[in-house]
């Protein structure tokens, strides 16, 4: 095993009760460091990564993390015909194709259940439980840290930064929280699930990805007015097969308004939840711990014990698919502007210019006439239309824009130039989701 930290220690402790598995070597960075688990009898603790490739090892368990040494070890272990088990989502999301190709070449199992949503056996569910079915949509809370932060913002009426420090003190958030709060961690998991479900490798950078940093306590007030809450969701869908057998895959990560009565809204705290829609089962929901020593180690252990089972390829059948960044949804847009006659009319005018119809406008009573917040929920439209409006709103900030010189555009004048889309936007659930779960009246 490479790594003897949070997850590695849990794996050793759980497997201490299983007679069939023997640890020969555990490779760590500092062999002299005290461990919070019992080193198995006869197991050597080393700093020599290469020693994991010796002939007395059948299976390499990689629970160190990182995308360089760990990735290199996995490739070399596979080349030597060894089974590989890992919890490393960063390496998997970057190199799933290469790793799966290397393992397929030697027909050695390559298992990574713990890499997505820690304790929820979602990869095994997709690969085994749904074999023969056709997944068309995945929606999920894929990051426990951000779900914990959003839950507390809603419950206590506080801002994101007020909760972040607590989350760090409790060990939910890293010292550098960017991967969680910007949505990159959840995006990696979304890409892995899309690959497994639709056979298409998504370019992470091409996805629309908004974390929670722009969500404020005011948004929870507006959400409550709509009997909703806010969750950071990863969503990926695949169309029916089009002509030529191609499917169109869409994927995005965004804070979303969710009706409080739904299963997704009920997942609070550091919980993860994945909702799958497949042709034969319809909607199925999987909820549980997304991280932590025991849930994550259990997923690693299940993979290790599965290695004795007959070989099956690590990826679903590959399919021709095309990625489409743009997607349809209803969008929520919160603006802060000066209290002036016609301000909201000009905002809705910009939306109308972009062909966007307004579903509702919400405004809490004014407390500061220089910073008046209002929230607009649109009817269904495309992300690109909303992005066009956002860029027109932000264009006027910090520089003088001569709106009148822009062809075919109504001059927004002072009031809208002063509008600051301080949150930008949240997506309300797509109509596809509404159809099945009736989330939106």
Tell me the window of 85-93, 126-134, 205-213, 406-414 that interacts with ligand NAP (CB under 6 A).
85-93
To the nearest whole angstrom, how small is the minimum distance from the Cβ of residue 7 to ligand NAP?
A: 4
Does residue 255 bind ligand NAP (CB under 6 A)? no
Q: Which of 4, 140, 177, 396 binds ligand NAP (CB under 6 A)?
A: 4
CB of 24 to ligand NAP, least distance (A): 16
Active-site annotation holder among 82, 89, 189, 250: 189
- The answer to whether 189 is a known catalytic residue is yes
Which is nearer to ligand NAP, 7 or 135 (by Cβ)? 7
3-class secondary structure for the chain?
CECCCHHHHHHHHHHCCCCCCCCCEEECCCCCCCCCCCCCCCCEEECCHHHHHCCCCCEEEECCCCCCHHHHHHHHHHHCCCEEEECCHHHHHHHHHHHHHHHHHHCCCEECHHHCCCCCCHHHHHHHHCCCCCEEEEEEECCHHHHHHHHHHHHHCCCHHHHHHHHHHCCCCCCCCHHHHCCHHHHHHHHHHHHHHHCCCCCHHHCEECCCCCCCHHHHHHHHHCCEEEEEEEEEEECCCCHHHCEEEEEEEEEEEEECCCHHHHCCCCEEEEEEEECCCEEEEEEEECCCHHHHHHHHHHHHHHCCCCCCCCCCCCCCEEECCCCEEEEEEEEEECCCCCHHHHHHHHHHHCCCCEEEEECCCCCCCCCEEEEEEECCEEHHHHHHHHHHHHHCCCCCCCHHHCCCCCCCHHHHHCCEEEEEEEEECCHHHHHHHCCCC
CB 91 within 8 A of CB 70: yes
Q: Which of 89, 152, 231, 392 binds ligand NAP (CB under 6 A)?
A: 89
Region 364-423 residues binding ligand NAP, contact defined as CB under 6 A: none
Which of 23, 61, 88, 424 is in the footprint of ligand NAP by CB under 6 A?
88
Q: State which residue, 69 or 362, has the beta carbon closest to ligand NAP.
A: 69
Residues numbered 10-69 forming contacts with ligand NAP, rule: CB under 6 A: 27-30, 33, 49, 63-65, 69
Binding mask 107-146 for ligand NAP (x = CB under 6 A): -------x---x----------------------------
| 84 interacts with ligand NAP by CB under 6 A | no
- The DSSP letter of residue 246 is -
Q: Does 430 bind ligand NAP (CB under 6 A)?
A: no
Q: Which is nearer to ligand NAP, 48 or 391 (CB)?
A: 48
Kindly indicate which of the ranges 1-9, 150-158, 244-252, 420-428 contains the residues binding ligand NAP, using the contact rule CB under 6 A.
1-9
Select from 3-11, 105-113, 153-161, 330-338 the region that touches ligand NAP (CB under 6 A).
3-11
Site residue total, ligand NAP (CB under 6 A): 25
Residues between 291 and 330 with contacts to ligand NAP, criterion CB under 6 A: 291-292, 296
Residue 371 Cβ vs ligand NAP, minimum distance, rounded to whole Å: 40
Smallest separation, CB 236 to ligand NAP (Å): 20
Q: Which residues bind ligand NAP (CB under 6 A)?
A: 2-8, 27-30, 33, 49, 63-65, 69, 87-89, 114, 118, 291-292, 296
Active-site annotation, residues: 189
């Amino acid at each position: 095993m490479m790594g003897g930290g949070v997850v590695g220690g849990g794996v050793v402790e759980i497997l201490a009760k299983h007679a069939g598995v023997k640890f020969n070597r555990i490779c760590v960075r500092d062999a002299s460091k005290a461990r919070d688990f019992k080193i198995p009898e006869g197991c050597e603790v080393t700093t020599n990564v290469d020693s994991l490739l010796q002939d007395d090892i059948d299976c390499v368990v990689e629970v160190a993390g990182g995308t360089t040494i760990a990735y290199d070890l996995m490739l070399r272990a596979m080349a030597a015909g060894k089974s590989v088990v890992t919890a490393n989502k960063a390496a998997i999301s970057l190199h799933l194709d290469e790793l799966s190709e290397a393992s397929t070449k030697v027909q050695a199992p390559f298992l990574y259940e713990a890499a997505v949503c820690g304790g929820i056996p979602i990869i095994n569910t997709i690969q085994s439980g749904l074999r023969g079915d056709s997944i068309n949509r995945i929606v999920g809370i894929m990051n426990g840290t951000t779900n914990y932060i959003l839950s507390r913002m809603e419950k206590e009426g506080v801002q994101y930064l007020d909760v972040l420090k607590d989350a760090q003190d409790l060990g939910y958030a890293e010292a550098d929280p960017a991967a969680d709060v910007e949505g990159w961690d959840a995006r990696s998991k979304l890409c892995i699930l899309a690959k497994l479900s639709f056979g298409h490798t998504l370019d992470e950078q091409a996805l629309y990805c908004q974390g929670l940093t722009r969500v404020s306590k005011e948004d929870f007030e507006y959400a409550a007015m709509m009997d909703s809450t806010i969750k950071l969701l990863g969503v990926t869908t695949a169309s029916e097969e089009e002509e030529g057998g191609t499917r169109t895959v869409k994927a995005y990560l965004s804070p979303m308004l969710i009706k409080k009565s739904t299963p997704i809204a009920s997942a609070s705290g550091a919980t993860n939840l994945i909702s799958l829609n497949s042709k034969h089962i319809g909607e199925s929901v999987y909820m549980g711990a997304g991280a932590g020593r025991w849930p994550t180690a259990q997923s690693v252990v299940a993979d290790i014990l599965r290695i004795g089972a007959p070989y099956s390829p690590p990826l679903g059948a590959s399919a021709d698919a095309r990625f489409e960044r743009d997607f349809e949804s209803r969008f929520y847009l919160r603006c802060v502007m000066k209290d002036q006659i016609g301000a909201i009319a000009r905002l809705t005018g910009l939306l109308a210019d972009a062909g966007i119809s307004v579903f509702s406008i919400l405004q809490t009573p004014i407390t500061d006439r220089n910073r008046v917040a209002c929230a607009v929920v649109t009817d269904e439209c495309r992300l690109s239309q909303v992005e066009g409006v956002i860029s027109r709103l932000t264009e006027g900030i910090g520089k003088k824009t001569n709106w009148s010189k822009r062809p075919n555009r109504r001059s927004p004048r002072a009031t809208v130039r002063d509008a600051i889309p301080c949150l930008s936007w949240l997506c309300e659930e797509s109509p596809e989701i509404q159809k099945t779960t009736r989330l939106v009246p």
